Amino acid sequence: MNALRPLLLLALATSGCMGTGATLQPAAELPVTKVVLYQNGVGYFERRGTVVGKDLELRVRPDQINDVLKSLTVLDLSGSVASSVSLPVERSGDEVAMHLPHEVRSAQGMMALLSVLRGAQVEVHGQNGRQIGRVVGVERSQTADGDGKLVETPILTLLAADDSVVKTPVAGIDKVVIGDKTLAVGLQQSMDIARRDGAWKPASVQVRMADGGSHDLLVSYIHEVPVWRPAYRAWVEAGKGVTLQGWAIVDNVSGEAWKDVDLTLVVGSPLSFRYNLHTPHRVPRPDLSSRLPQVAEAPPEPDVGYEDAPAPPPEAPMAEAEKKPYAGPGGGGAMPRPAPRPAAASKAYKKGKMAEASADEAGDDGERQRAQQESSRRDAAIRQAQALVTGREVGALYTYRAQKPVTVPDRSAALINIVSRKADGQEVFLFREPNSGQQPYRAVLLRNGKESSLEGGPITLYVDGTFAGEGYIGRVGKDETTFIPYARESGFALNQRYEETISDRRIAKILGGRIWIQAKRVYTRTVNIDSNRDQPSTCYVKLHRTGGTELVDPPKDIVKAGGEFFVPVQVPAKTKGTVKIIESTPISSIETGLTAAAIDALKYWLTNSKPEEALAGPIREALATHDDISKQEQRIYELQQQRDTLDQEQRRIQGNLDALPPGPVAADLRKKLVGQLDDASKKAAEVAKHIVEAQVKIAALREKLRVLLAGVELK
């Protein structure tokens, strides 16, 4: 077996002790029989096979060793058990290098190696034949080449067994055998250290079985793998819904081909993590040497006695459930079959009319034939893709299990069909940014059924048999609806109007002259979409929902998504489509006295609640008193206007009096103006009197209102 293959190998090692001349027997590999891939970056693997002997060797890639150690399970279906698991201690290259000679650590290349081997016994094979001796050193000699130029040539000097010194050019050496075993082993270790920075170096895990013989082994473990990804294709036809296909892209980068394996793909992410079990973990310890005793004490005389040790309990038999192999995650199930292929459309012609078919009818017939061909091609793709997997729920997970064995070569990707079915859907226009002034998207509205969830991935869309664009589908649960935008569209203009009102004021409680009121704040959005398209359009507008609100009489086919909703707007050709969205938010307030909100709530309560007269009478009297107060306040306002007019009139007359010259010439006019001023003063005094009377009445009415409200209790 090639030890450099970058994969996890399981092999049966030769049992017993080998002599010096013993050779390793070829190791038998346990093939991968089951693979379960999760979406959290781990894979579950099972290997199954028969091995002979007690020792099982697992050769593991360094990036897999920690996952394998924390998940490894070895089951002997023949009845035996694994008694121990051992593995070499992981040491860093720096730690290993500290134990090597400095000369070996620093040697690089033939010349450098021969230089650091000074004094070592070597056997050299080269252009001067076979030479044996101890390395004296490497010197640089200058010799002339064919053109007479001096060339520096490294020369190896050896001290032979007869104490003679021999030389040989380093460039002519083909082979060097190191006679010093310690240096040879150190050189091998230095190569191992260098190898850690480059090629893969496996770690060997030894599993020892409790007894020899033949073992039917099932070995399972997990380790990190690339995440499998879904990709979708969708065919959309007007009035026929959506034909949906989903494919899983599976990558095999394990370093070993998966041949005829039981493959399961799992939707969901069980908790998983990295944990270093291979590298020794050391904890610093305090040095308590100072606490050692300073004086030694002689041991006491020994005590002699005996103890009755209880007999060991009999070994419990293995439960039958423990003898069964772990089946691993995944499983079967049945996924609903796709809808049957629609029958090809046909056209019945009336007898005797074939000769009268117009050119337009012939064109329509050609269009029907093209549509039939496209439908047949799509149906053929569905037939080819269906029945490859079965799906079922396993707790919080959903599994897709291949119905037949799957082969995925090493360093290859495979596409496996996981979804093939008809779905409810249609082509629409989607305003995702209704306030940005952007044009809508062309999109596919897809309603997922009850079969299974759809995981997020890219999707290629074909509309009426033609490639229309690409989109991305997020995770769609059962009975959920999603929009898949795939192109921009022009020809629409959107605008919105907003209106806010308070309605449905209701009395919740009246106590101590305070009135608790509940009402609704109504927020109305009017969405208008103008279209210059020649065909009617279904547009969806994405709107944000105000927190704590509820939609009042929402339009049909509205799509809710958390704090947002998508409202449909039917837009006729070359005209405008309108829809109103009404949101209602409950509000409450506490009113002291008969405010405008309290009056509206009390009137609504009297009209709709049919209260008892003992409670309704004081409320009606309170409302009538409030009306009287309002009338008196209105009278005071009118009287104040009269008083202001009279005050202005008095100031005008007084000004005219002040402007008259003294003497008898203006006596008559002065007398007249004085009379007018006196009349105005009397009228002003009368108005002031009426204002005071009205204010007194208002005070009395307010006191009456206070007493009335204080006497009303509604809980």
380: pLDDT confidence band, cut at 50, 70 and 90? low
The pLDDT of residue 637: 94
Q: Is the pLDDT of residue 28 over 50?
A: no
H or E element at residue 681: helix 667-710
The pLDDT of residue 537: 94
Which has the minimum average pLDDT: 17-26, 300-309, 591-600, 624-633?
Answer: 17-26
Strand stretches in 87-240, DSSP E:
121-126, 129-144, 150-159, 165-169, 173-178, 203-209, 214-224, 229-237
Q: Is the pLDDT of residue 56 over 60?
A: yes
Which has the minimum average pLDDT: 80-84, 95-99, 141-145?
Answer: 95-99
524: pLDDT confidence band, cut at 50, 70 and 90? very high
The pLDDT of residue 311: 46
The pLDDT of residue 233: 92
Bridge-based pairing of strands 150-159 and 165-169 is: antiparallel
Residues paired with 55 in a beta bridge:
208
pLDDT in tens, 476-489: 888 889 999 999 88
Average pLDDT over every residue of 541-558: 85
Q: Is the pLDDT of residue 295 over 50?
A: yes
The pLDDT of residue 397: 67
701: pLDDT confidence band, cut at 50, 70 and 90? very high
77: pLDDT confidence band, cut at 50, 70 and 90? confident
Q: Are 138 and 120 in contact (CB under 8 A)?
A: no
Task: Quote the pTM value.
Answer: 0.57
Q: How far apart are CA 63 and CA 65, in angstroms?
A: 6
Structure token pair of residue 426: 């249609």
The pLDDT of residue 106: 53
Q: How far apart are CA 690 and CA 634, in angstroms?
A: 13
Which has the minimum average pLDDT: 329-343, 368-382, 492-506?
Answer: 329-343
pLDDT in tens, 198-220: 334 566 777 888 888 888 888 88
H or E element at residue 188: helix 181-196
Cβ neighbors of 195 (< 8 A, separation 6 or more) are 201
Q: How far apart are CA 565 and CA 545, in angstroms?
A: 7
302: pLDDT confidence band, cut at 50, 70 and 90? very low
The pLDDT of residue 136: 87
Q: Are 254 and 410 in contact (CB under 8 A)?
A: yes
Higher pLDDT, 349 or 55: 55
Q: How far apart are CA 5 and CA 257, in angstroms?
A: 12
Read off the DSSP letter of residue 665. G
The pLDDT of residue 697: 94
Please name which of 594, 578, 511, 580 lies closest in space to residue 552, comparing C-alpha atoms.
Answer: 580
Bridge-based pairing of strands 32-37 and 258-267 is: parallel
Which has the minimum average pLDDT: 79-88, 106-115, 308-317, 528-537?
Answer: 308-317
Query: 46 phi and psi, to 5 degrees?
Result: -125, 140
Count Cβ atoms below 10 Å from residue 512 Cβ, excluding itself. Answer: 10
